[in-house]
Amino acid sequence: MTGLRWGILATGGIASAFASDLRTAGLDIAAVGSRSQESADAFAARFGIPRAHASYESLVADPDVDIVYVSTPHPMHHANARLALEHGKHVLVEKAFTVNRGQAEDLQRLGAEKGLLVMEAMWTRYLPHMVRLREIIAEGALGEIRAVMADHTQSLPTDPAHRLNALELGGGALLDLAIYPISFVWDILGEPDTVQASARLIETGADAEVATIMTHAGGAISTTLSSSRAAGPNTAAVVGTEGRVEIQRFFWSPSILRVYSTDGDLIEEFDGRPSPDEGRGMQYEALAAERMVAEGVLAGDVLPIDETVGIMGTLDEIRRQIGVTYPEEH
């Protein structure tokens, strides 16, 4: 345990889930910051946090905070993370990390200049079933990986003003949902050599459905499908010449992993779901961040900042192909 003192920036639903898991893991939440004192006070009371700040500026200036978890909407990630870095704080930034590659590169540069951890909060990478999946692949149990398939499809609010549909808030399936299967593909196959994307845009100009076909090293192929208007299986599969892995619903959260032979025989079942008293699963990324800081490592091997920047580049290319731009990019 490194004893890092966490500051939580913003008080929405994802921040609540994160704070709950930090408490379950016994980590130190030193402060919370919101845009109003009332919201900060309520969040602090709920999670037993000693200091509640009425602004993000006050939170990042708190000398008793070592690392800041940024959980604002996507378009605010860059400015909020930059603010924390400028005040000498490590940052764990919710996915999607930023709205484009340029912003991600800026945070990467600033973190390197200041010797601070800059890390994307893609919690899936740190979950037990994903750790086991990487072990299975490294052992060669699947042979040569030829295909990866994943979907993230949900039936979400259709109100045009809702965060998920408003471009000025980074709305659309891509940043909220597709980031999971696309990051999953990167995890298994690495950076794509080619990207083909198709989407259906709604009246706000945001993407309600987006699909990709990508090729990777050695000719491996990945396919992803994401939707904010219809709920699908939400599973993932990794297919190799000697076998396959199937990850059950919902693949991006703690789940069950099954390994099959090419004949369809079940070889292994791994249940990565924590017990109710172990937390939701967000504690794993926080513990990873603490370990990296303790070891003086600013780019872990699970999701190094270089890869986060590369993934944002892939999302940029997808948006270029489907015709989606955010207001701040005009």
CA nearest neighbour of 173 among 149, 217, 207, 139: 207
Quickly state the pLDDT bin for 86 (edges 50, 70, 90). very high
Determine the pLDDT at residue 278: 87
Q: What mean pLDDT value characterizes the chain?
A: 96
For 185, the 3-state DSSP assignment is helix
pTM over 0.85? The answer is yes
In this prediction, residues 242-270 reach a mean pLDDT of 98
Distance in angstroms (rounded) separating the CA atoms of residues 93 and 74:
10
Identity of the amino acid at 165: N
The pLDDT confidence band at residue 144, using thresholds 50, 70 and 90, is very high
SS3 content of the chain, % helix, strand, coil (to 5): 40, 25, 35
The strand ranges marked E within the chain are 5-9, 28-33, 51-53, 67-70, 90-94, 118-121, 145-153, 194-201, 207-215, 221-227, 236-240, 243-247, 256-261, 266-271
Q: What is the mean pLDDT of the segment spanning 155-178?
A: 95
**What is the mean predicted confidence (pLDDT) over 166-191?**
97
| Of the candidates 67, 95, 91, 64, the residue with the CA atom closest to the CA atom of residue 80 | 91
Q: What is the mean pLDDT of residues 298-315?
A: 95
Give me the domains of the chain, ranges plus CATH numbers: 5-122 (3.40.50.720), 128-280 (3.30.360.10)
Instruction: Using pLDDT thresholds of 50, 70 and 90, give the confidence band for residue 275.
Output: confident
What pLDDT shows up at residue 44?
Answer: 98
Average pLDDT score over residue span 171-178: 97
Cβ proximity of 124 and 247 under 8 Å = no
Average pLDDT on 284-289 reads 97
Residues in the chain: 330
Q: Is the pLDDT of residue 1 over 60?
A: no
In order of 99, 102, 230, the CA distances from 226 in angstroms are 17, 24, 9
Residue 158 pLDDT: 95
Q: How far apart are CA 93 and CA 95, in angstroms?
A: 6
Query: Which residue pairs from 253-260 have beta carbons closer than 8 angstroms and sit at least 24 positions apart in sequence?
Result: 253/124, 253/127, 253/280, 253/281, 254/127, 254/128, 254/129, 254/280, 254/281, 255/127, 255/129, 256/129, 257/129, 257/132, 257/133, 259/136, 259/141, 259/142
Confidence label for 276 from pLDDT (cuts 50, 70 and 90)? confident
Of 61, 121, 109, 96, the C-alpha closest to 285 is: 121
Q: What is the mean pLDDT of residues 248-274?
A: 97
Q: Given a cut of 80, is residue 203 above it in pLDDT?
A: yes
Question: Alpha-carbon distance 26 to 3, whole Å?
Answer: 10
Amino acid at 241: T
pLDDT at residue 265 is higher than 80: yes
Question: pLDDT tens across 4-17, in order?
Answer: 999 999 999 999 99
**Mean pLDDT of the region 152-174:** 95
Residue 202: pLDDT above 90? yes
Q: Is 281 left (phi over 0), alpha (psi -120 to 50) or beta?
A: left
